[in-house]
């Protein structure tokens, strides 16, 4: 295992992902993890990440006191990146100071002498992604500088004998041309780890774990959302325990055009999952009638979902005569990673999304034991795992869809006259046009929004007073920040014309050109 200690850089997860791409299992631990926690992962290599802090600030996060002695005793190679390199320098007797001139962005670095870190084949000059305000002005004993920036700052250091290395720049980001090569060289030539971590291994291992956890007479339930994560998790568990898995898919009346039919067909015909479709639309829409406040809508939808799920659980118990003991959830690695607290705070925090996103989550009080076979995986790894289990590519690459569904895409009262049907029709035209133009996979998320206002238009020589709809398309890597997608004007023109021609009740289309921040992705 390659243990990455997280000091808070925005690229930390990328380090772990790069290592995994090279076929080596890697975990991310908070930078203040103690030695017992680090060693419990049996590390063959430890990487110290970058971070926003300065090593000489009071309370700056650091490795445990015995860290370097332990690594030396066990022969564990260490690579420090950015803040990680500065930690090495400072803790081993060198000196780190604020740089006269901070260096940010893409810039060349030069290898200044032979090194184990770069090996023999590395280009003498390479472009890298730099981001630092401090620099190493004196190296600890036994270390040599093997790379420098144009400005002469130390950017690569090593103590080959003790197997401790440092890079001031970020080899994990793609802007660093030979960064991936450098990580590869470090892992396979210096640390001499073996690549053996593949999705097939993950699949076999997780199936074994599920079988070990779930007894031969136990039953398991799962709520499929229509998204990739729950579908992949359920498919894996189904492979492990067969039809002792019981899945439900709830149509809450807030799904897109024909979505319920489409995903049910995929679950049954393609993934062969045992799924019960529950139509709860009438009950939920009755509760949402007249509710315009976005948070209140989310709460109502979340509470109703829990009700429906409890009823489903009782049905499974009646049918099988056994109380289902386990619940499958599609939790992913980014939801469980703990990060290092910033100096001055004694709070641990994890990289979880906003609390309002937990619609569709099920409370602990239901008393289930959780089965979370994707807990160690990043989203792109889940997609690979899905493909391995024959989940269709078209399903794997679907854009994310929020738990509260169209409720956050119909502004105000979702039960307003014709709003849901209108937005379904508009969304279908828009998404099909995006697919036809070959743009679907270039866009992170695209959808239409129903606005509760009317504007004046002229259609077929008649004055109309009809609805305005908004179109949104964004690029993003995780939904936390986003840019609006720049379609060709012709594309927007054609989609707008098609919508106004084909959807009754709409005479105006607007395109959302706001990024996140200041906007959010959804309009509510």
Q: Where along the sequence are the contacts to ligand XMP (CB under 6 A)?
A: 298, 354, 356-357, 359-360, 400, 402-404, 408, 445, 479, 516, 520-522
Query: Long-range contact list for 503-507, CB < 8 A, 24+ apart?
Result: 503/422, 503/425, 503/426, 503/429, 503/469, 504/422, 505/418, 505/422, 505/466, 505/467, 506/422, 506/426, 506/466, 506/467, 506/468, 506/469, 507/455, 507/456, 507/457, 507/459, 507/464, 507/466, 507/467, 507/468
Closer to ligand XMP by CB, 239 or 399: give it: 399
Which residues are annotated as catalytic? 82, 170, 172
Closer to ligand XMP by CB, 408 or 433: give it: 408
What's the closest the beta carbon of residue 4 comes to ligand XMP, in angstroms?
Answer: 26
Closer to ligand XMP by CB, 111 or 255: give it: 255
Whole-number Å distance between alpha carbons of 185 and 117: 7
Helix (H) or strand (E) holding 174: none
Whole-number Å distance between alpha carbons of 211 and 218: 10
Helix (H) or strand (E) holding 473: strand 462-475
Query: Residue 182 half-sphere exposure, CB side, CA atoms within 13 Å?
Result: 29
CB 66 within 8 A of CB 102: no
CB 235 within 8 A of CB 203: no
Q: Can you say whether the dihedral through the CA atoms of 296, 292, 469, 510 is positive or negative?
A: negative
E-state strands within 197-284: 220-224, 245-251, 275-279
Over the range 228-246, which residues count as b (16 or more CB within 10 Å of their CB) and which as e?
bbbbbbbbbbbbbbeebbb
Closer to ligand XMP by CB, 464 or 519: give it: 519
Closer to ligand XMP by CB, 483 or 522: give it: 522
What's the closest the beta carbon of residue 475 comes to ligand XMP, in angstroms?
Answer: 12
Whole-number Å distance between alpha carbons of 147 and 381: 34
Closer to ligand XMP by CB, 176 or 445: give it: 445
CB 327 within 8 A of CB 370: yes
Distance of CA 309 to the CA centre of its chain: 26
CB 258 within 8 A of CB 425: no
What's the closest the beta carbon of residue 356 comes to ligand XMP, in angstroms?
Answer: 5
Six token digits for residue 130? 């730099």
How many Cβ atoms are within 10 Å of 9's Cβ, its own excluded? 22
Closer to ligand XMP by CB, 343 or 363: give it: 363
Distance of CA 15 to the CA centre of its chain: 14
List residues forming the annotated binding site for ATP. 225-231
On the question of a cis peptide bond just before residue 518, with omega within 30 degrees of 0, the verdict is yes
Q: Hunting for tokens 């062969």 — which residue is that? A: 272
Helix (H) or strand (E) holding 436: helix 419-436
Going by C-beta distance under 8 Å and a sequence separation of 6 or more, which residues neighbour residue 199? Answer: 381, 384, 385, 388
Closer to ligand XMP by CB, 40 or 350: give it: 350
Query: Maximum Cα–Cα distance for the chain, whole Å?
Result: 86
3 state DSSP class of 418:
coil
Six token digits for residue 199? 């999705």
């Amino acid at each position: 295992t390659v243990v990455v200690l997280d000091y808070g850089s925005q690229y930390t997860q990328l380090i772990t992902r790069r290592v995994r791409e090279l076929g080596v299992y890697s975990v991310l631990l908070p930078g203040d993890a103690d030695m017992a926690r680090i060693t419990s992962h049996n590390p063959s290599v430890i990487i110290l990440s970058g971070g926003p802090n300065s090593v000489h600030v009071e309370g700056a996060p650091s490795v445990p006191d015995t860290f370097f002695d332990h690594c030396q005793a066990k022969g564990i190679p260490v690579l420090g990146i950015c803040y990680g390199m500065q930690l090495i320098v400072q803790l081993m007797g060198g000196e780190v100071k604020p740089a006269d001139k901070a260096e940010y962005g893409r810039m060349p670095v030069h290898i200044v002498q032979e090194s184990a870190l770069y090996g023999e084949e590395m280009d003498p000059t390479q472009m890298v992604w730099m981001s630092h305000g401090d620099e190493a002005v004196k190296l600890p004993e036994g270390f040599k500088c093997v790379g420098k920036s144009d400005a002469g700052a130390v950017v690569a250091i090593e103590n080959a004998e003790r197997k401790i290395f440092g890079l001031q720049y970020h080899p994990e980001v793609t802007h660093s041309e030979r960064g991936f090569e450098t990580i590869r060289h470090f892992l396979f030539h210096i640390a001499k780890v073996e690549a053996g971590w593949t999705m097939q291994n993950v699949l076999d291992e997780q199936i074994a774990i599920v079988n070990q956890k779930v007894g031969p007479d136990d039953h398991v339930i799962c709520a499929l959302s229509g998204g990739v994560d729950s579908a992949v998790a359920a498919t894996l568990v189904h492979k492990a325990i067969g039809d002792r898995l019981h899945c439900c898919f709830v149509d809450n009346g807030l799904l897109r055009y024909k979505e319920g039919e489409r995903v049910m067909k995929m679950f049954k015909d393609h993934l062969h999952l045992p799924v019960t479709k529950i139509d709860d639309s009438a009950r939920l829409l009755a509760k949402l009638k007249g509710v315009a406040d976005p948070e209140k809508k989310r709460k109502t939808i979340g509470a109703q979902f829990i009700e429906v799920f409890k009823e489903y659980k009782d049905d499974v118990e009646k049918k099988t005569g056994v109380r289902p003991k386990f619940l499958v959830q599609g939790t992913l690695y980014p939801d469980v990673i703990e990060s290092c607290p910033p100096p001055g705070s004694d709070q641990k925090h994890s990289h979880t999304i906003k609390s309002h996103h937990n619609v569709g989550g099920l409370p602990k009080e239901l008393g289930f034991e959780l089965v979370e076979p994707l807990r160690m995986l990043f989203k792109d790894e889940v997609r690979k795992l899905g493909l391995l289990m024959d989940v269709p590519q078209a399903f794997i690459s679907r854009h994310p869809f929020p738990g509260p569904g169209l409720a956050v895409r119909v502004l105000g009262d979702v039960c307003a006259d014709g709003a849901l049907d209108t937005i379904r029709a508009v969304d279908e035209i828009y998404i099909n046009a995006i697919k036809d133009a070959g743009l679907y996979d270039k866009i992170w998320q695209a959808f239409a929004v129903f606005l509760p206002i009317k504007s004046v238009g002229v259609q077929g020589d008649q004055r109309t007073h009809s609805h305005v709809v908004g179109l949104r398309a964004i690029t993003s890597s995780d939904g936390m920040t986003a840019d609006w997608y720049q379609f060709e004007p012709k594309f927007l023109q054609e989609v707008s014309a098609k919508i106004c021609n084909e959807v009754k009740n709409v005479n105006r289309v607007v395109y959302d050109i706001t990024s996140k921040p200041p906007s959010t992705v959804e309009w509510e």
